[in-house]
């Protein structure tokens, strides 16, 4: 009868509402986990870039120091006059 059909549909609707709610909660948790993972990835990339920049600065500073020592050493070497062939 009609009443039985309405009650049956009502039960189906409540079941589907619970399912939708459950899946919505799961989706929200997955979204939160995704956002958190993206933030951790961005932080890790930022930290790596900072370390690479520090390494580059060290390499450049070391190169400048070597150049300065070499220049200083070359300045201490007396100039030797080239002999003119006679």
pLDDT tens digits for 37-59?
999 999 999 999 999 999 999 99
Tokens of 28: 């929200």
What pTM was computed for the model? 0.60
State residue 80 phi and psi, 5-degree precision.
Answer: -105, 125
DSSP at 77: S
CA separation for the pair 60, 31 (Å, rounded): 43
Tokens of 44: 């890790």
**63 contacts: CB under 8 Å, gap ≥ 6:** none
C-beta contacts of 12-20 below 8 A and 24+ residues apart: none
Q: Tell me: pLDDT of 86 over 70.
A: no
């Amino acid at each position: 009868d009609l009443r039985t059909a309405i009650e049956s549909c009502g039960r189906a609707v409540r079941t589907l509402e619970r399912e939708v709610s459950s899946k919505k909660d799961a989706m929200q948790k997955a979204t939160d986990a995704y956002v958190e993972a993206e933030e951790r990835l961005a932080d890790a990339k930022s930290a790596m870039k900072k370390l690479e920049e520090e390494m580059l600065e060290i390499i450049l500073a070391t190169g400048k120091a070597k150049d300065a020592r070499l220049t200083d050493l070359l300045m201490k070497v007396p100039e030797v006059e080239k002999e003119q062939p006679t």
